[in-house]
Amino acid sequence: MSKEMGIVALGVWVVVMPYLGIYRSWLTVLMVLTGIALMIIGFLLRGEAITREHHGHAPEARKKSRVTFQESTPAVEHDYSSETN
């Protein structure tokens, strides 16, 4: 099972768990363990995303331009010396 599907499955587990008739103390323990599992999978997915981005495998839409400043010039240059008043 992929990590993404693991998150979906744990999400369904969290939604269904209160309706299973589990004792309150066991329910608390299972919720905490499920939360820890979600955190671990989330950190693993974040690490994979950072690694993908670092190695240049990120989609083009996510890549940002490294140019912070670009000087522009006027589109039309005007010669004011030839005008008469």
Domains of the chain, by residue range, sit at 3-54
Residue 57 has pLDDT above 70, yes or no: no
User: What was the pLDDT predicted at 2?
Assistant: 87
Predicted TM-score (pTM) of the model is 0.58
Nearest to 26 by CA among 15, 37, 18, 16: 18
80 to each of 9, 30, 35, 44, 75, how far by Cα in Å?
A: 72, 79, 71, 64, 16
Residue 50 has pLDDT above 90, yes or no: no
Residue 74 has pLDDT above 80, yes or no: no
For 38-42, what is the mean pLDDT?
93
pLDDT digits (tens, 9 = 90+) for 3-24: 889 899 999 999 999 999 999 9
